[in-house]
Amino acid sequence: MTTTVPAIGTRTAEGSALQAVLLDMDGTLVDTEGFWWDVEREVFAGLGHTLDDAWRQVVVGGPMTRSAGFLIEATGADITLAELTVLLNEGFEDRIDRALPLMPGAARLLGELALHEIPTALVSASHRRIIDRVLGILGTEYFALTVAGDEVARTKPHPDPYLFAAAGLGADPARCAVVEDTATGVAAAEAAGCHVVAVPSVAPIAPAARRTVVRSLEEVDLTFLRSLLN
């Protein structure tokens, strides 16, 4: 099912209630949320339809089936979900092959977690083919486990991806810190019982119990993540 990659192992950090860190991908580690919207606009333009900018907040952070299905219904485009999924994935792959900008603070945070041997998983609603493409640039060595949206029965906003990741790392979800950029991802992490750091990308996210909102990953380090559980 989910691919594990050779990485840093799953040892719990000494002296901390934090057992694992679970990271979203698009818009959290890599600056690609805009890529998805650009590709969606281009594909639908080719089908003779113009997307309403207001729809961007509806589809951001969602699984491909939900986002693509919504756009087909909203536009009435003559295309199947399976056909659209192929076009969107191909368009996105072309974009990241040309450039894959990291979010500010992402490289430093991944390096710090690896240095301190914190069990870390990548948990994304993107399909495996997209995750593997991104990992080839981002670095597989930073993750002990990766979970793709097309490898779980229910992806975000359901808790399944985060529950699966925590179990795979041998961690209690209540002792995991999740970093997410969308309300969909936040909902999934909170439903799994994790502590959440929200770094909003497209739409605002309000603070809440067990949820801390920051402006950038540059505000997030290991000390900060450990403080969430102490």
The predicted pLDDT at position 6 comes to 33
Distance CA 72, CA 78 (A): 8
Distance CA 43, CA 50 (A): 10
The predicted pLDDT at position 95 comes to 86
E strand intervals along the chain: 20-23, 120-123, 145-147, 176-180, 195-198, 211-213
Tell me if 139 sits within 8 A of 110, measured CB to CB: yes
Bridge partners of 211, per DSSP, are: 196, 208
The predicted pLDDT at position 207 comes to 93
Distance CA 227, CA 158 (A): 26
End-to-end CA distance of the chain: 34
SS3 (DSSP) at 23: strand
The predicted pLDDT at position 36 comes to 82
In the chain, % helix, strand, coil (3-state, to 5) comes to 45, 10, 40
Question: How many Cβ atoms are within 10 Å of 92's Cβ, its own excluded?
Answer: 24
169, two tokens: 């790392």
The conformation of residue 177, written as its DSSP 8-state character, comes to: E
The predicted pLDDT at position 16 comes to 66
The predicted pLDDT at position 11 comes to 38
The predicted pLDDT at position 202 comes to 82
Q: Dihedrals φ, ψ of 20, to 5°?
A: -160, 160
- The pTM of the full predicted model, rounded to 2 decimals, is 0.81
Walk along the chain (230 residues) and give the pLDDT tens digit of each residue. Answer: 344 333 333 334 444 699 999 999 999 999 887 888 898 999 999 999 999 998 887 877 667 788 888 999 999 999 999 999 999 989 988 888 888 899 999 999 999 999 999 999 999 999 898 899 999 889 999 999 999 999 999 999 999 999 999 999 999 999 999 999 999 999 999 999 999 999 998 889 999 999 999 999 999 999 999 999 98
The predicted pLDDT at position 61 comes to 67
Tell me if 124 sits within 8 A of 149, measured CB to CB: yes
pLDDT in tens, 10-20: 334 444 699 99
